[in-house]
Amino acid sequence: MRPADELRRLVEAYLAFARGDGREAVEVTPLGPLLEGIQQRAERAGAKVELQIDEPIEVALRPVAFRRCLANLVDNACRHARSIWISARRTADQVEISVEDDGPGIPEPYLEQVVQPFFRLDTSRSRETGGLGLGLTIARDVALGHGGDLLLGSSAHGGLRALVRLPT
């Protein structure tokens, strides 16, 4: 693929996301079924996934956009790890959804860079097979668009921990 074609494809992918995200209505959505769907998708892809939700949690969100946020996080974990742990819990003023894995993780100096558009930690892979470098960018943008945030760090399981925080 020519560099100009590749750049056009990258920009079109990001713009398609940006255009589609703003049109969806906010709905009070139960997290349990949404997370169970994400879990089943990852298991069909061959990952071992453990899901823990302490209590039924409902959140006002744009369900399609938010599902994409979580799917991007879990898809990344599927690519780099064997086991994934997804949990959701409510605190006094927010909902926290954690996606952890046992993969190689992301070195501390790169934790802020990996959420920048088109940044890829593993530059040795082809963009045809290794993604566009937009998954974490989109996940963070969706979290921010819901008034929350996406925090990346080390998992207790040795890999990456992606924590999505949403206001209640």
pTM of the model: 0.81
pLDDT for 105: 86
Q: What is the DSSP string of 34-53?
A: HHHHHHHHHHHTT-EEEEEE
The pLDDT, as a whole number, for residue 34 is: 96
122 near 132, Cβ under 8 Å?
no
Mean pLDDT, the chain, rounded, equals 83
Model confidence at 168, in pLDDT bands (50, 70, 90)? confident
Distance CA 72, CA 38 (A): 10
Q: What is the arithmetic mean of pLDDT over 4-13?
A: 63
Q: What is the pLDDT of residue 113?
A: 66
pLDDT of residue 124: 37
Query: Could you read off the pLDDT of 39-96 as tens digits, one per residue?
Result: 999 999 899 999 999 899 999 999 998 999 999 999 989 988 999 999 999 999 999 9
